[in-house]
A and B are shown apart, each in its own frame.
Chain A
Amino acid sequence: MELVMAITTGLLFAVAVYLILSRSVLRIILGTSLLTHGVHLLIMNMAGLKRGSAPLISEDTMSYTDPLPQALILTSIVINFGVTAFFLVLAYRANQTLGTDDLEKLRGGDENE
């Protein structure tokens, strides 16, 4: 199971990198979103995948699931949600004001205003 998850994570990273390297802002945002999804899967995988036991330790428990990765992922999801929402609004507003979503046209030196 870990192997499948590792391959999925790798795929997500690859797709994300491809999208982030494109020129359209919208694709880049999708790319960053996929990248963080990949990272979340990675966290889950790094802690080891287990089934069938509660995240509680007592004297006589033989196996237990580590609850910490879930907590980390949850926190990261919330942050990513906020950031992606903000990024989308920013891209929309930038598109309205600047009239383009092509990063090649958003270069700009410090002289042109």
Chain B
Amino acid sequence: MNNLIVLPLLLPLLSAIILVFLRKQVAVQRSISGISALLNIVIAVILVGQIQSDGIQTLYMGGWIPPYGIVFVADMFAGLLILTASVVGAACIFYSFSSIGEERERMYFYPLVQFLLAGVYGSFLTGDLFNLFVCFEVMLISSYALIVLGGSKRQLRESIKYMLVNILSSALFVTAVAYLYGALGTLNMAHLSQRVAEAGQGGMLNVIAILLMIVFSLKAGLFLFFWLPGSYAAPPAAIRALFAALLTKVGVYALVRTFSLIFYHDPAVTHTWLGWMAGATMVLGSIGAIAYRNVSSILNYQVVIGIGFIGLGLAIATQAAWDGVVFYLMHDMLAKVLLFILGGMLITAAGTEKLLEIRGLIDRYPLIGWLFLGTTLALVGIPPLSGFPGKVMLIRSAFQEQAFVLAAIGLISSFFVLYSLIVVFKQAFWGSELDQEPRTTVPPRSKLLNGTILAVFALLVFLGVNAEWVYEFVAQAGHVIAEPDLYIHAVMKE
């Protein structure tokens, strides 16, 4: 029992409720959400420290011993993701100070972000499948509101589709929960894992596993990503960065949990599917990334490629692969948030999304330009930066399991990432500007924002340079994922 692990959920929830009442005081709203985001990082650091020294932390809600009550479980995987997500949340909140506009700030922007964060942290922490659904919904309902906030034509058009896809996948999620409850009589994830092991993962349970795979793949954008590029292009850059870095990753987290803890007995069926889906995601994402000459479309397809690459580790499912998944997931969240913030700043600076109309920004915006190049190199996996260790671990685990085709697709997709982003860099920052007169749109140039993006980039460098030190934590996370018994024993103590 450890009451600390409910704090990452409770703090954003409470700050959101307070913020709702401070609608008119924009300055107060900013400081409260900023402080709350920073506090969450501190809590996450303490939590990770506790997990490292004392092992998996659990909290039984209302003192109900599992499998009866709802249980919160913080293993190293969840802890690291919460830490990364809190950094991402803080970065997005700081970016929105200077970019989101007072109109949106008055229309409950900050409370919605906090509700979304609460849903994300809850999804990472919960040890109960139905509670996972509830946390998903908390996150999704805030995302519906955030994606349409502002009510432009494009936002309205895209959010209808976004909502429809997510309502359908939520309905399928509850269907899968109902089948699981009918088949196994429990919804506690650790207990489910025990029951599946006892009953044997046969035809019936495989059907449920595939149903859950469809649900989580829809949320994660693994192969079923057709909704992603359109929807993510609609909202303003700060919201886009938040979505790109967090929402799909929660789906990935659910996939990892489901197929490492509960349905890991029949990899010939489930993990083969995951492998095909991961491969197809990387191929299609790469094609998408080079097909457009529009900054936000190119960035959106980077999200797809990243998810496909993590899917590779899901399909391999050895301990080495899980280490890679954890490391790459942390790197991907940080790199994506930085990429989208820089992309947003680029679009604001240029006043257009169309790549062919942007040129020569490096003179006026050297910081954005060089950081964009740095983030590109990190995403591709150039050694001193954070993409490298994760990619090495994932590709090496794929070679160990003789999955040469997947590994090859993974490596080749890196070239497409490099090519598509270098095209953006070359076109937007090199050359001389099209018109010499200064544009009317004033770009955000606050010290806070520059500090934020530099801090996130410093984290990327830190992850890459100190990979050895980070690996201790990552290996602990991978160890628990690879051996479900550890998780089960921590939850079901008796």
Contact = CB atoms under 8 A, between A and B. Distances in A.
Interface of A: 20, 25, 28, 32, 35-36, 39, 42-43, 45-47, 68-69, 72, 75-76, 79, 82-83, 86-87, 90-91, 93-94, 97-98, 103, 106, 108, 110-111, 113
Interface string B161-188: 1011001101100110111011000010
Given A42-B178, A46-B181, A83 B167 contact: yes
29 contacts: A20-B168, A28-B164, A32-B164, A32-B168, A32-B171, A35-B168, A36-B174, A39-B171, A39-B174, A42-B175, A43-B178, A43-B181, A46-B178, A47-B182, A76-B133, A76-B174, A83-B170, A90-B148, A90-B159, A93-B156, A94-B156, A94-B157, A94-B160, A98-B156, A108-B157, A110-B229, A110-B292, A110-B297, A113-B154
A79 to B, nearest CB: 5
A100 B145 CA distance: 21
Interface string B443-461: 0000000000000000000
Given A83-B141, A90-B156, A46 B171 contact: no
Given A46-B178, A103-B160, A108-B230, 14 more contacts: A32-B167, A42-B178, A46-B179, A69-B181, A72-B181, A76-B133, A79-B137, A83-B170, A90-B144, A91-B160, A97-B151, A106-B160, A110-B230, A110-B296
B493 interface: no
B173 to A, nearest CB: 9
A94 B43 CA distance: 41
Contacts of A113: 153-154
A106 B157 contact: yes
Contacts of A39: 171, 174-175, 178
User: Top 3 closest A-B pairs, CB basis?
Assistant: A46-B182, A43-B178, A94-B156
Interface in B114-143: 130, 133-134, 137, 141
Interface size class of B (residues with CB under 8 A): 35 or more
B148 A72 contact: no
Given A46-B178, A86-B144, A36 B171 contact: yes
Contacts of B292: 110
A106 B234 CA distance: 13
Interface of B: 130, 133-134, 137, 141, 144-145, 148, 151, 153-154, 156-161, 163-164, 167-168, 170-171, 174-175, 177-179, 181-182, 187, 229-230, 233, 292, 294, 296-297, 353
A111 B293 CA distance: 10
Contacts of B170: 79, 83
Contacts of A94: 156-157, 160
Contacts of B296: 110
Contacts, number: 97
Contact of A86 (B145, B158, B175, B353): B145
B181 A75 contact: no
B297 A87 contact: no
Contact of B294 (A32, A45, A110): A110
Nearest to B68: A68
Contact of B177 (A36, A72, A82, A110): A72
Contact of A47 (B133, B145, B158, B181): B181
A72 B177 CA distance: 10
A94 B174 CA distance: 28
A36 B285 CA distance: 32
Contacts of A111: 294
B138 to A, nearest CB: 9
B175 A108 contact: no
Nearest to A99: B153
Contacts of A43: 174, 177-178, 181
B160 A90 contact: yes
B34 to A, nearest CB: 28
A2 to B, nearest CB: 11
Contacts of B156: 90, 93-94, 97-98
B168 A79 contact: no
Given A39-B175, A110-B294, A25 B151 contact: no
A47 B177 CA distance: 11
Contacts of B182: 45-47
A52 B130 CA distance: 27
Contacts of B130: 72, 75
Contacts of B158: 108
A98 B153 contact: yes
Contacts of B133: 76
Contacts of B161: 106
A103 to B, nearest CB: 8
B422 to A, nearest CB: 21
Contacts of A98: 153, 156-157
A86 B178 contact: no
Nearest to B130: A72
